[in-house]
Structure 1
């Protein structure tokens, strides 16, 4: 554990006490590993407490969970839109009550079940000592989610994010608890929408590639983010949508051609945090280059 008394690496000085665990993780390694939807393996499903626990076992630093809200106001961990793939149902999960969501079980084929869809409260109340990236909760920030989140007193562990072009970050500006925030951008110009707001505890920027010729795959963009005192968070995920991360620097290329061609190329651009579906292999690479 680092005992150096230096200025915080990421985020404003006024929020240093909140950001201390994040900056400690950044100080301990050449880059930070974020596990996409936790670490689902075998009978362990994504967006579950066990998936978060498993993330600590593969030496990743951040576990991700997605958030949905029931029609009667309860929060669950699930990525809406994956109902058929994960639950084998065609219903819109956002149309269900909490009681109905409690009954949903993960399955891959008839007769095989791998636990229930879990409440966010269950995960946060029992999570191990790890940073957690809360995804897709921005839909609920202005209608109660942030107040609800305060009960867990986890501001040093939770990183919230949103697409900044839509203005959801205003709720963080207005909220008393200054959760760590990561702005999601699709173009460099969007940095101007949030980095100057001192009432938001911005610690990083997620670069979201939506086209094959994304303007974000430019070292100058990463330098600009660094100059603002923020980390650059990149996705190495191969989601099958044709974008292949930042111009092909993704998990698939890293596994099949060698980590230097995917993950290594992202680090060369200036990435500080890499989100991956292969945290074990990325950790192996991190150990090699450390």
Structure 2
């Protein structure tokens, strides 16, 4: 396409180049944007569907450094940085509006107080989000977004991992379907399969990821992983307590052509603070164990490390 664009200009006299460029520029962006959007959408959906040779970077509560966690600005910052996915926390107001907020209260992230579930959407709209992760940081112009607004901001630009802080899962899916972004959204839950099916009977029709903690699977990891086979997870989020346990799960997850997801948040067995000082010791070690999805509060540093090292992951085709 660029070759055609260049050839068309080659026959234009030099004095007419500026005019020709202006005309072509006015015609090019709409078509180019549509083509690029389609291509990027396909890349995103391929990343989410399973291992495709890439290491997926997941920004915990979006790219909140310099913005506000769980904000539209933080989603946009991740899109600009080329991050693969944002993890967002979803809650419901007293009048049934789904919004983004990690805590049960609005105290940490706004100038307001009280349980979010006791407040109406009209009340929340008056509040400002604090900078970064709150705890007394300055107030910003960022506001608490609705879940629908977040989906629309992300659609075809970045994947979303939903951390539902409400049991109204059907309402969450309804908004996902309204926006038309099911192929770009990952649901997750820490619960046995029977409980998940009872709460979300449609779970095998969406991208799903179980959250499993090492103590719960220590005695028989193969059986625990296998227990989710009926709903075909695209990835497994494992809360590792002992780094030596990490490679035990690699062949089990690989056999299912799914992504192996680890959080490297501060205080975990694999720690972001350590990774920033010595990425080989944390992220590099995870890559060596076949981990191909990492949730982090340092998404830009992880992206730079992957680009610097040329790190790749396995690729497979789901059975």
Q: Quick one: distance in 2 between partners of 1:34 and 1:176?
A: 21
Distance in 1 (CA, whole Å) between partners of 2:126 and 2:237 is 34
| SS of equivalent residue, structure 1 residue 270 | coil
Instruction: Give 1:227's aligned residue.
Output: 255
Indicate how the Cα distance of structure 1 residues 171 and 98 shifts in structure 2: closer, same or farther if over 3 A, else same.
farther
Question: Structure 2, unaligned stretches of length 5 or more?
Answer: 1-41, 311-319
* Aligned counterparts of 2:112 and 2:139: Cα–Cα separation in 1: 14
Q: Report how far residue 190 of structure 1 moved.
A: 3.2
Tell me if 1:126 matches 2:167. Answer: no
Contact 2:91 2:166 in 1 (8 A): no
Identify, as 1 or 2, the structure richer in strand.
Answer: 1
Secondary structure in 2 matching 1:284: helix
TM-superposed deviation, 1:117: 0.8
C-alpha deviation, 1:112, in angstroms: 3.4
Pick closer, same or farther for the CA change 1:176–1:203 going to 2, 3 Å: closer
- Retained in 1: the 8 A contact 2:112–2:127? no
Spell out, residue by residue over 1:134-191, the C-alpha distance to the aligned partner (whole angstroms, 9 max, x if none).
11256222x5332333111111111111112385521576228822111111123532
> Which residue in 1 is equivalent to 2:140?
113
Q: Which has the higher helix share?
A: 2
What is the alpha-carbon distance in structure 1 between the residues aligned to residue 59 and residue 181 of structure 2? 19
Contact 1:162 1:168 in 2 (8 A): no
Rg larger in structure: 2
Q: Distance in 2 between matches of 1:34 and 1:110?
A: 24
CA 1:92 to 1:82, structure 2 compared with 1: closer, same or farther past 3 Å? closer
Q: What is residue 63 of structure 2 aligned with on the other side?
A: 39
Q: How does 1:76-115 map to 2 (within 5 A)?
A: 76-81=99-104, 83-107=106-130, 109=136, 112-115=139-142
Alpha-carbon spacing, 1:103–1:171, altered in 2? closer, same or farther (3 Å): farther
Q: Does the CA contact (< 8 Å) of 1:106 and 1:113 recur in 2?
A: yes
Q: Is residue 2:305 matched to residue 1:281?
A: no
The structural deviation recorded for 1:59 is 2.5
Tell me which of 22, 33, 52 is aligned to 1:27: 52
Question: 1:150-165, aligned counterparts within 5 Å?
Answer: 150-165=177-192
CA contact (8 A) 1:150 1:177 kept: no
* Cα shift readout 1:230-268 (whole Å, capped 9, x = no counterpart): 111100011xxxxx323xx22111112x10011112222
Distance in 2 separating the partners of 1:191 and 1:25 = 16
Judging changes above 3 Å, is the alpha-carbon distance between structure 1 residues 221 and 25 closer, same or farther for their aligned structure 2 residues? closer
The reply to whether residue 208 of structure 1 matches residue 248 of structure 2 is no
1:260 match: 280
Question: Which secondary structure does the structure 2 equivalent of 1:126 belong to?
Answer: helix
Corresponding pairs, count = 257
Query: TM-score w.r.t. structure 2 length?
Result: 0.72
